[in-house]
Structure 1
Amino acid sequence: MTTKTEDPALPAGETLERMTMNLKKVEELSERLHRVMTSRQGHNPALDAPGHDLFGRAAQSWWSEAVHNPAKVLEHQMSYWSDTMKHFVQAQQTLAKGKLSAPEDPGPSDRRFTNPLWDTHPYFNFVKQQYLINAEALTRAVDEMGDLEPLEKNRLTYFARQIVDMMSPTNFLATNPDALERAIETEGQSLVQGLENLIHDLEANNGELVVKLADEDAFELGRNIATTPGSVVYRNRMMELIQYAPTTDEVCKTPLVIFPPWINKYYILDLKAQNSMVKWLTDQGYSVFMVSWINPDPTYADIGLEDYIEDGYLAAIREVREITGEKQVNAVGYCIAGTTLSLTLSLLKQRGDKSVKSATLFTALTDFSDQGEFTPFLTDDFIDGIEEEIADKGVLPSVIMARTFSFLRSNDLIYTPAIKSYMMGETPPAFDLLYWNGDGANLPGKMARQYLRGLCQRNELAEGGFELLGHRLKLSDVTVPLCAIACETDHIAAWKDSYRGVQQMGSKDKTFIVTQSGHIAGIVNPPSRKKYGHYTNPDLSLDHTDWLEDADFNEGSWWPRWEAWLKKRSGKQIPARIPGDSSHPVLCEAPGTYVAGKATL
């Protein structure tokens, strides 16, 4: 392994002194680590892994296969041992040559192994290739396992992948050449800083390890993020209502009210001027209103979906109508807020209320019959664990949801940033989207149970109706003009599942758009970026495969296409409205107070 020194002229005594100081710092940090770990609140162990019964059934399935089809099992084992022994012999031959040369076949490329030493150094190359052999053997064993229900097979595959990702040699100091080189270059300072980063993350989350993805000191709400001018014109126990200042002399008559997800904060749609949907919409001449949800504490334990509808959706629609003097609004719902907007539209239909003129859904699921990558987290043992956590804390803590979402993309959202922060001692990047991602919110206990049991597990909205507020709410009751945007690589709300829900809605006027990229980047895709394109197809009678196959691909952002759709449903031009009125005085300037609430217990 080659090394380099940041200051080659540094005297040996001074180098020793620096290393001694770093060792002393490690002792001090170790004491802090001990304190935070001994005082950690912890969480229900059912949220970390499936029950022993799943692994028991997997073992039973493996032994059954061994008895009934021993040749297959032997073939798998012999293949593994053959690859391992061949690899070992090749490594011995390389070492016997007495020189550190690259093997003839360094193995498959993997972005985790970009350091040249993974290919050129016999030790690191041996470690890498043996890891890849082990990973392939475990993955193949799970793939070929029979006698398991599809749900169990899905869960076993997921947790096997977690084991494979966790055991990567890049995740351990002794087998990570980047981290070792950095430690030598900095006389151990990188390891000290890494330990400090680790302890800071633990302290910030009551002993739970959630890797910080962005430099929190680089952003300040209202200064360089969430900066679009506006005012809070209404507030209740569930939300603040922000009305944005116009940037055009005239605006569309019908106001637009946006309901963001309450799992995170609203400013995903107002990150900075260059990628702010809010600013872009005001520049197009709309009266834009945004709901900013409260970050619930344990006193909100009994708050349910009915409270979000009554004191969130219906209250916001009512106040926007009063402020603007309009009979109708156009509404947008993002993710879980789109699901709940669909519930609200069904309720309004059954009440004969025509307050909503059109609706737009961003990455919203309403039919949960195919739970996709979330299947491992929607089984009884996991949700039982969540309910026990809720019974203990009153809310589903944000840290639990952050961990769950992160493990769906563990290499990108856990291990890679952890290596950079804890092994390399690097400061997380100043990235606005990742800053938002780490600014989570708790979920009220009752609401979390309703969502997970009634909507996700039992799929009641799409199958028979969801009982709420004295009504049985159904997708067929969603009859307003509808535009739905889904994201091609979304791992949270798969586009085909969003599409299936839209197909069941009763609207005669339905538009469906699939944008490239994922749950966030696909939505936060301003035209100026000229990055991701989108697919369109007016024939929503097709199944999702045929819909995409027959769809037209369009270069560039979907925002202008949606805006053209929205403009047709937004009425004539009128003089621009300033925030508030005589009965809705400005309570404070945007971004408001609720958005600053942190998810603490």
Structure 2
Amino acid sequence: MKAQDVMEPHLPTLEDMQQWTQVLGRAQQLMLEQAAGATGRTLPFDPEAVARIQTGFADEGLALWQRFLDSGGLLRDHPEPPPSDSPAAARDRRFADPAWTEHPFYDLIRQSYLLLSDYLTKLADAVDGVDPKQKAKLRFATTGLLDAIAPSNFPLTNPLVVQKTIQSGGENLVKGLQHMLADLEKGQLTHTDGTAFELGRNIASTPGKVIKETPLYQLIHYAPTTDKVLETPLIIFPPWINRFYILDLSPEKSFVKWAVDQGISVFLVSWKSADASMKDVVWDDYILDGQIDAIDTVRDLLGVPGVHAIGYCVAGTTLAATLALLAARGEADKVASATFFTAQVDFSKAGDLTLFVDDEQMKMVEQLSSGGFLDGRYMAATFNLLRGRDLIWNYVVNNYLLGQDYPPFDLLYWNGDTTNLPARWHKDYLTQLYRDNLLVQPGAISVAGTPIDLRRVRTPAYVQAGREDHIAPLESVWKLTEHFSGPIRFLLAGSGHIAGVVNPPSAQKYQYWTCAESQPTLEAFLAHAKETKGSWWPDWIEWIRGQAPATVPVKGARRPGKGRLKALEDAPGRYVKTR
């Protein structure tokens, strides 16, 4: 788009811009006062730091306005290159279109917004002498406010929307309104075209059979594709906060299919989305009637002493508790190895999610869970807030303002396919783990009357973290290595909570870091780690084979439904389809 082709809104005066600055300053002051009320005292600032921030903001603001006037402002015929942006501003995808920099008015709007963002962020950081969590809340709220008021989010200050509106005669806004009304009706922001996917056909389509069903889960046994398989089978525990098929997306991305093709007998637990019948379900149930029951089922079916187990996210946290309980019972050999995908056990550095566990938030969760379960749309909204710029406002612009069609994207389809959570479990999880961090305190948590202690876990473990994970931060996942007593291989994958895990070798994307020898601290790991391009999955399968290399022919119970447990239905089963 050329700069001269963009319709020009009314040019604000310097007084107009000062007014908006004051309004946003007052908005931040309200957040400061809220944080002060939570601490019971006035928030302390470093006067010298605040003075420097305010002086710098005023000087840079005037300089920006003067540059605009000196260059001829909106009257200049040939746009001049704008001053160089900071590296962060240059990477800001909201302003990637050339019109944001080539057109003088929009360049002024953009630079003014970035300047204001820098000012308010620095002012939030200048709060000192308060509880770190209160300061983190203030910074989180400031970031959320700034993301919401970005000029890209409004029709008259986004050159792309202005141009699209002119070209389409306003049809984009009508279509965007249709999108918005549809989202309001279903109570959830749409990210992708849901009609493009069908469970069992082009997503969650790895062949297999459901061989067991309980009130809590279905157990899927996937059909082998090799003549021989590892004698020790693999059981995968996905998080029940989401649908299991994050690990079985399209065949090209499916971890399940890839693992089957590597010669592993793969079983997977498909959790039931909570309803009123699960109002009394607690964490003990997911450990005893979920993970241990599934482990014993696979052991008995195949006649093996132990299994390899994978726990993803909250299921990884639960797997750690399961291992501790088995160790306390003298049954640790039931799990030959444990793999943790972006899982946390020590929540002292759990990131922004800890901001959602104060008393006020817990009261709201209780109100939303009056039926005995929490609607999954609440959790989806919470996770979206953690990356509001990418998962909320980006789609507001594309779907509502530009009126664009939804692209078919399996990962975003999964992201919007929410599950409900048992109310009692969810409350205990937030309070006992995120808020009180009891899991790493020996004996502080008991399962079926047995106190558990993570230090007793000696099971060989493979711990994977994501470098850019905003849900389970790297620093938090690393702490798992500080509480187990057995051999641990720690691996850092490129990208985040999802793409860092779902990264098939065929994609040739990202990278991972490992150390030949275990390291005492995360800092030491980062200093000595070797980078390898591509997927980390081959590293994992090599580690698995090293734990138990024996293989057996595929016959009898190694085929789904051919052992004592008969097939109930085809994978992916009815639990994952229940809404």
Q: Give TM-score, length-normalised by structure 1.
A: 0.86
Q: Distance in 2 between matches of 1:100 and 1:118?
A: 16
In the TM superposition, 1:125-136 aligns within 5 A as 125-136=107-118
Instruction: Please say if 1:587 is aligned against 2:568.
Output: yes
2:217–2:272 Cα contact (<8 Å) kept: yes
Q: Distance in 2 between matches of 1:474 and 1:505?
A: 9
1:171–1:415 Cα contact (<8 Å) kept: yes
In the TM superposition, 1:286-325 aligns within 5 A as 286-325=264-303
The residue number in structure 2 matching 1:13 is: none
The residue number in structure 2 matching 1:30 is: none
1:234 to 212, 218, 222: 212
User: How far is the alpha carbon of 1:591 from its aligned partner?
Assistant: 0.8
User: How far is the alpha carbon of 1:289 from its aligned partner?
Assistant: 0.3
Instruction: Name the amino acid aligned to 2:499.
Output: A
2:81–2:101 Cα contact (<8 Å) kept: no
User: How far is the alpha carbon of 1:265 from its aligned partner?
Assistant: 0.9
Instruction: Give aligned-pair identity as a percent.
Output: 38
In structure 2, relative to structure 1, the CA distance for the partners of 1:193 and 1:106 (3 Å cut) is farther
Instruction: Please say if 1:485 is aligned against 2:468.
Output: no
1:238–1:311 Cα contact (<8 Å) kept: yes
User: How far is the alpha carbon of 1:312 from its aligned partner?
Assistant: 1.2
Instruction: Please say if 1:535 is aligned against 2:547.
Output: no
The residue number in structure 2 matching 1:9 is: none
Q: Distance in 1 between matches of 2:359 and 2:413?
A: 32
The residue number in structure 1 matching 2:21 is: none
Instruction: Name the amino acid aligned to 2:65.
Output: F
1:83 to 56, 60, 67: 60
Instruction: Please say if 1:158 is aligned against 2:135.
Output: no
What is the RMSD of the two structures over their aligned residues, measured on CA atoms? Answer: 2.3
Instruction: Name the amino acid aligned to 2:161.
Output: A
Q: Distance in 2 between matches of 1:120 and 1:114?
A: 11
Instruction: Give CA deviations for 1:150-209 in whole Å, capped at 9, x if unaligned.
Output: 22111111111111111100001111111111112112111111111111111112xxxx
Q: Distance in 1 between matches of 2:288 and 2:33?
A: 42
User: How far is the alpha carbon of 1:57 from its aligned partner?
Assistant: 6.7
In the TM superposition, 1:118-157 aligns within 5 A as 118-157=100-139
1:338 to 311, 316, 320: 316
Q: Which runs of 5+ in 1 are unaligned?
A: 5-48
2:158 to 142, 167, 176: 176
Instruction: Name the amino acid aligned to 1:436.
Output: W
Greater Cα shift, 90-99 or 583-592: 90-99
Instruction: Please say if 1:371 is aligned against 2:350.
Output: yes
Q: Distance in 2 between matches of 1:80 and 1:491?
A: 30
How many residues were matched structurally? 545
1:94–1:122 Cα contact (<8 Å) kept: no
Greater Cα shift, 396-405 or 415-424: 396-405
User: How far is the alpha carbon of 1:104 from its aligned partner?
Assistant: 5.0
User: How far is the alpha carbon of 1:539 from its aligned partner?
Assistant: 4.0
2:354–2:434 Cα contact (<8 Å) kept: no
In structure 2, relative to structure 1, the CA distance for the partners of 1:515 and 1:481 (3 Å cut) is same
In structure 2, relative to structure 1, the CA distance for the partners of 1:120 and 1:296 (3 Å cut) is same
2:493–2:536 Cα contact (<8 Å) kept: yes
Q: Give TM-score, length-normalised by structure 2.
A: 0.89
2:559 to 578, 583, 587: 578
2:374–2:421 Cα contact (<8 Å) kept: yes
User: How far is the alpha carbon of 1:570 from its aligned partner?
Assistant: 3.5
1:61–1:148 Cα contact (<8 Å) kept: no
Instruction: Name the amino acid aligned to 1:81.
Output: A
In the TM superposition, 1:435-584 aligns within 5 A as 435-465=413-443, 466-507=445-486, 509-576=487-554, 577-581=558-562, 583-584=564-565
Greater Cα shift, 535-544 or 281-290: 535-544
Instruction: Give CA deviations for 1:17-42 in whole Å, capped at 9, x if unaligned.
Output: xxxxxxxxxxxxxxxxxxxxxxxxxx
2:73–2:104 Cα contact (<8 Å) kept: no
Instruction: Give CA deviations for 1:230-268 in whole Å, capped at 9, x if unaligned.
Output: 000000111110000010111111111110011111111
Instruction: Name the amino acid aligned to 1:444.
Output: P
2:74–2:104 Cα contact (<8 Å) kept: no
Instruction: Name the amino acid aligned to 1:325.
Output: G
2:117–2:146 Cα contact (<8 Å) kept: yes
